[in-house]
With several copies, the nearest count.
Chain A
Amino acid sequence: MDRKTIILGVIGADVHAVGNQILNYAFMDAGFRVVNLGVMVSQEEFIEAAIESAADAIVVSSLYGHGELDCQGFRDKCDEAGLKGILLYVGGNIVVGKQPFAQVEERFRQMGFDRVFGPGTSPEEGIHALKEDLGVT
């Protein structure tokens, strides 16, 4: 089986480390190669790591509420860096406050994210989606 590579990290000034550590564990356990950048990761760091490791997907977490500010322009930056079409996920508590998820999802899709996950999504759901989108069986 050719193992798919995933860049994992928590974007912006966000220090929520627990979910990141669990995702790291779960993705590895599911057979992915994971490059975990940990917390407080800038868009640039994500992109650099993706290029360096020829990644198949970038999985962005944002818990602290600034996700909407932190993610602006991410897709464009990927395109500019030559990562056109790379799979881009975002998940966590990605906006400030309790907002209707459909609207939030729409906004992040507009920003170029392929999939958007709400609060408390289980790692399994993420793994399922990754497998589907990356054609892993």
Chain B
Amino acid sequence: MQLANKKWALDEFMAQRQAVLSAWPTGEEVDLQEGMAYQRGIPNGQRFVTRLKEAKASQVTLVQPRAGVPLVADHLALLKHLETEGEADLLPTTIDSYTRLNRYEEAQRGIEESKATGKAMLNGFPAVNHGVKGCRMVTSALSTPVQVRHGTPDARLLCEITLAGGFTSFEGGGISYNIPYAKNATLQETIHNWQYCDRLTGLYEENGISINREPFGPLTGTLVPPCISNSVAVIEALLAAEQGVKNITVGYGQCGNLVQDVAALKSLESTVEAYLARFGYDGVTVTTVLHQWMGGFPQDEAKAFAVICWGSAVAALAKATKVIVKSPHEALGVPTREANAAGLRATKQTIMMLADQKMADGAALEEEIAVIDAETRQILERTLELGDGDIALGTVRAFEAGVIDVPFAPSRYNLGKIMPARDNEGAVRLLGVGMLPLTEAQKKFHQEKIAQRGRHENRGVSFQMVIDDIYAISKGRLVGRPR
């Protein structure tokens, strides 16, 4: 198999399908025609795509939690709670970590032990084990559209089951669900497997059923420079579009500096649109999502609310199409439904107070957008070059070469040479640029920004800064100043 960003022939796709569906007994429940018929029965207002398009048009930011528990009835009750008490505009179904690694037997053990102990023993909803029927029990009982959110390097079976199961959006991508979520999976493998998911989504699309796809923007959630996450988003958008996906939500994890965050989101949207246009993918609707702070949270709930609300404010000021919400329990564990709903309500209040306001343009914002635009293009152009024009192939080679490099990633296929740190205003910059294909001027810009902080803090630039920055928000501030 030679990886290429090329639409799969239908029979190539179908040839794989049998193996995919037979990986676990519930695979048998999937029948493509019947699944499509079922999806056609879902009213428009309950589809992800409809809500996102409306929101984009009216410039309102929608609010979406993360949530998943092991048993169907509990999961449904949880989502209903978030719908009514949390005022969620969009709902999730967060998948447990065994399912994410295709360890369905362990997931089964988790289900059994959860039943036996009456405690949730899995950190999410094992959708494959519950099968198409279990999924439909959930999606059909809600008036809010539901998305699958996970972190699965090989999500083919999960995608088959959940799309047939009535979910109208599917998160993930061959890079964003590999590098931060796996250790040993090659990019060849995961990009290939995600082409399957995109092809499946495209197939639904060709049959008149619009399913939303969402690359996972925040990656490791920890000091990821915007040029890195935006590059990955562009690539995954291109990969999805090639397979026929028409509705893509690109994401970004809040870094904490207002100007940088708004700039990153603006740059993200325009860069994705520009590359889609350049490669001739017409008729793709691009929306955006901001993830509230994805790194370590403060344990104190009042302080956690502050982190949540600041993320909400950024989402609203940047006019993101939706925002993914944290809970005041974030630092401690999977939230109770009450804590989850509280995070949602705090977010909703912030969003609505800012609904009619936006970040004012200005020189600082323009400059920051220009910085991110330029760096992202540098990375993407070098990636295309490495792939001899093919973005899929280029991506594999770019990661090998460290042309794309995600900080703190567990994957052995990520070079791990760059080192991010905050500048004196809290924007995420590069203390070490690793092998990123930046110009000398760009490298100097980062160096100077961090040196400036060093001078202000009266200390040399070092790894201690990075450590301080990693802890900073959980300890009550943005920039990890020396104690």
Contact = CB atoms under 8 A, between A and B. Distances in A.
Direct contact of A and B (CB under 8 A): yes
Interface of A: 12-18, 21-22, 25, 38-40, 64-66, 68-69, 93, 95-99, 119-120
Contacts of B182: 15, 40
B333 A65 contact: yes
A25 B331 contact: no
A69 B470 contact: no
Contacts of B96: 66
B119 interface: yes
Given A21-B408, A96-B122, A119 B109 contact: no
State the majority secondary structure of interface residues on B.
loop
A79 B204 CA distance: 54
25 contacts: A13-B103, A14-B97, A15-B180, A15-B182, A17-B220, A17-B410, A18-B295, A18-B408, A22-B467, A40-B410, A64-B97, A64-B123, A65-B122, A65-B334, A66-B96, A66-B123, A68-B121, A96-B119, A96-B121, A96-B123, A96-B334, A97-B333, A97-B334, A98-B329, A119-B333
Contacts, number: 90
A25 B101 contact: no
Contact of A97 (B113, B336, B463, B467): B336
B122 A17 contact: no
A93 B97 CA distance: 14
B299 interface: yes
A38 B183 CA distance: 9
A18 B466 CA distance: 11
B457 interface: no
Contacts of B151: 15
Nearest to A39: B410
B345 to A, nearest CB: 16
Contacts of B26: none
A66 B331 contact: no
Interface string B208-223: 0000000000001010
Contacts of A38: 183, 410
Interface of B: 96-98, 100-101, 103, 106, 109-110, 113, 119-123, 151, 180-184, 220, 222, 295-296, 299, 329, 331-336, 339, 408-410, 463, 467, 470, 474
A42 to B, nearest CB: 12
A13 B97 contact: yes
Given A25-B463, A96-B123, A97-B329, 14 more contacts: A22-B467, A38-B410, A40-B184, A64-B123, A66-B97, A68-B121, A69-B110, A69-B113, A93-B332, A96-B333, A97-B332, A98-B329, A98-B339, A120-B296
Given A66-B123, A69-B113, A97-B333, A15 B410 contact: yes
Contacts of B296: 18, 120
A97 B69 CA distance: 11
Nearest to B412: A38
A119 B332 contact: yes
